[in-house]
Structure 1
Amino acid sequence: MQVANTLGELERAVMDAVWDAAEPVSAYDVQDLLEAAGRSLAATTLLTVFSRLEKKGFVTSDRAVRPYRYSAVAPREYHVAELMHEVLGGSRDRTAVLARFVGSVSDADAVTLRQLLRAEDLRG
């Protein structure tokens, strides 16, 4: 199943750099980060990726400065949660998918899920 908001490998690497940054980043900042991780890319390639990510709504750019600085529109957790919702929404049997998911999480994650569900019950 292809999820519409799925990031390609390079887009994901760029978004990971953006999400991990404490402040907006330029293509050159990301170029340095990726190079330190053993991946050498041209700045023009990264600018193309940023352009695609901006069109997809993942980043916003500050064009008042040079070089342009990019920020994530939403945190990584939001993106991952949206992917989970999208995959679940595409299922014919949501209960079976949820049961499989819950049955496969670690004990620590199960405790966290229970706590989150209890907190949600208290609010609602």
Structure 2
Amino acid sequence: MRGFGELEAAIMNRLWARQEPATVREVLDDLRGDREFAYTTVMTVLDNLHRKGWLTRQLDGRAYRYRPVSTKQEYSAELMRQALDGSGDNTTTLLRFVKEMTAAEAEAVERALKGRGTSAGSSRR
């Protein structure tokens, strides 16, 4: 998995913020102010994101309504997982990352790790 391109990211951010399915026209309207995009450009990017598995779509009249398959946090976590796996030394990289955390972030990780020990069927992730 690679990160989104600039327009893909802008569209995904709009869809994550909406928390409800959106048509091409609604996404285009949300993007106004950043830059002017052609309707067909936004439609093509939404179709590509759907084809890549990032969006589901449902026909509503004559238009599709698009919805993200995963949350922004799930997407970000997967990017972090891939960066860690690609680092060549997961432990050193993870420890370096932990050093950069704020106290609140470190406390959240501690709580999550403590809770992980009590959950059934833990996996590598």
Quote the residue 1:102 is aligned against: 98
Q: Give the aligned residue type for 2:94.
A: L
1:12 aligns with 2:14: no
Q: Which runs of 5+ in 1 are unaligned?
A: none
State the distance in 1 between where 2:28 and 2:59 align.
19
Of residues 109, 117, 120, the one that matches 1:121 is 117
TM-score norm. by structure 2 comes to 0.89
Tell me by how many angstroms 1:64 deviates. 4.7
Report which stretch shifted further, 56-65 or 12-21: 56-65
What secondary structure sits across from 2:2 in the alignment? coil
What secondary structure sits across from 1:123 in the alignment? coil
What secondary structure sits across from 2:44 in the alignment? helix
Structure 1 segment 1-124 matched on structure 2, within 5 A: 4-35=1-32, 37-124=33-120
Q: Which runs of 5+ in 2 are unaligned?
A: 121-125
What secondary structure sits across from 1:54 in the alignment? helix
- The root-mean-square deviation of aligned C-alpha atoms, in Å, is 1.3
What secondary structure sits across from 2:108 in the alignment? helix
Q: Which deviations, in whole Å up to 9, do the C-alpha atoms of 1:18-48 show, x marking residues without a partner?
A: 111131001111111111x432211110001
State the distance in 2 between where 1:38 and 1:78 align.
25
What secondary structure sits across from 1:63 in the alignment? strand
Q: Which runs of 4+ in 1 moved over 4 A?
A: none
Give % identity.
36
State the distance in 2 between where 1:10 and 1:38 align.
10
Aligned length: 120
Tell me by how many angstroms 1:56 deviates. 1.2
Higher helix share: 1
TM-score norm. by structure 1 comes to 0.90
